[in-house]
């Protein structure tokens, strides 16, 4: 029997407990209110090394900016709680770079980056205080099911200073990586403007924590300076997380229920 990875098992249990909470909250509520909005924003992808291997190379990661578009949907469960779901798209990118080669008199850089088209299905529980104010903080947590499809890679190298004849090269493989599934944990806080307890628009800051490794990719580096030659096979199998900042507008014609 095929074993379910620990990360996925944890997220499935988290979603099961969350579903029980939703049912308990939802049971006494007769009237429903559904709101659908349009969302756009930016993200920063955080590279986590995980099972990646850099050999003896001194690589470090650089957070890269991407974009976010989504159609969020709120299903009212009670005056305080709502189920937040919908469909999301994110362009996520990360980059690793090496500048220290442990060779006297040689300075330069090697860089390698990957971009992913990411489709997402969030299952979140949202809480807002019932205080009658026009502007309120709204809190969300839960799980986001993500499908990560590699779409591009970039690589390059250069020498900025050398005391001997030197060369630096990076060879990336043919793009043959597989797409991967990841259940991500999510926490977010929104500043929301309400009119008669109905959302008008909101600004959201969120953090998403990847729980499953991406499909393997990698590259080869070769550094030569005088009689010294260093060659490394770099294997990337990272976990990625991310921070997003988005704006959501809720049209009145996408408000359903009482």
Q: In 3D, which of 222, 228, 239, 227 has the Cα closest to residue 55?
A: 222
d(CA 140, CA 138): 7
Phi, psi of 20 (to 5 degrees): -65, -40
- The C-alpha atoms of residue 174 and residue 52 are separated, in whole angstroms, by 19
**What residue spans define the domains of the chain?**
6-257
Q: Enumerate the H helices of the chain as residue ranges.
A: 6-26
- Please state, in angstroms and rounded to a whole number, the distance separating the CA atoms of residues 52 and 58: 13
Q: Are 106 and 161 in contact (CB under 8 A)?
A: yes
Residue reference for tokens 């209110």:
33
Residue 206 CA to residue 245 CA, distance in Å, equals 7
H-run or E-run covering 30: none
Q: Is 31 helix (H, G, I), strand (E, B) or coil?
A: coil
Residue appearing with tokens 């949202």: 126
Query: In the 8-state DSSP scheme, what is residue 56?
Result: T
- pTM for the structure as a whole: 0.83
pLDDT tens-place values along the chain, 258 residues long: 444 555 555 565 555 555 544 444 444 444 458 999 999 999 999 999 888 888 888 888 988 999 999 999 999 998 899 999 999 999 999 999 988 888 888 888 989 988 999 999 999 999 998 777 899 999 999 999 999 999 888 888 888 888 788 888 888 765 567 899 999 999 999 999 998 888 999 999 999 999 999 888 888 888 988 888 888 888 888 999 999 999 999 998 888 875
Measure the CA–CA gap between 201 and 220, rounded to whole angstroms. Answer: 48
Say how many C-beta atoms besides its own lie within 10 A of residue 180's C-beta: 18
Question: What's the distance, CA 158 to chain centroid?
Answer: 30
Please choose, from the candidates 70, 74, 191, 190, the residue with its C-alpha nearest in 3D space to the C-alpha of residue 123.
74
């Amino acid at each position: 029997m095929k074993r379910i990875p620990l990360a996925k098992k944890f997220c499935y249990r988290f979603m099961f407990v969350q579903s029980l909470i939703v049912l308990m909250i939802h049971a006494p509520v007769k009237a429903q209110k559904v709101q659908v909005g349009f969302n756009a924003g930016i993200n920063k992808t955080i590279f986590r090394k995980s099972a990646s291997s850099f050999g003896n190379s001194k690589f470090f990661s650089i957070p890269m900016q991407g974009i976010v578009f989504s159609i969020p949907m709120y299903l009212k469960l009670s005056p305080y709680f709502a189920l937040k779901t919908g469909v999301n798209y994110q362009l996520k990118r990360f980059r690793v770079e090496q500048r220290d080669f442990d060779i006297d008199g040689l300075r330069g850089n090697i860089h390698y980056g990957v971009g992913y088209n990411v489709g997402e299905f969030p299952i979140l529980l949202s809480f807002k205080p019932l205080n009658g104010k026009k502007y309120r903080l709204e809190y969300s947590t839960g799980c986001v099911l993500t499908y990560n499809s590699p779409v591009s890679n970039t690589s390059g190298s250069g020498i900025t200073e050398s005391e001997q004849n030197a060369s630096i090269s990076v060879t990336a493989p043919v793009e043959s990586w597989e797409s991967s599934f990841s259940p991500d944990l999510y926490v977010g806080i929104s500043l929301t403007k309400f009119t008669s307890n109905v959302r008008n628009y909101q600004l959201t800051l969120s953090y998403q924590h990847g729980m499953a490794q991406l499909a393997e990719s990698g590259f080869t580096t070769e550094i030569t300076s005088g009689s010294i030659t260093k060659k490394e096979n770099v294997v990337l199998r990272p976990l990625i997380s991310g921070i997003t900042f988005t704006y959501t507008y809720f049209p009145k014609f996408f408000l359903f229920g009482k």
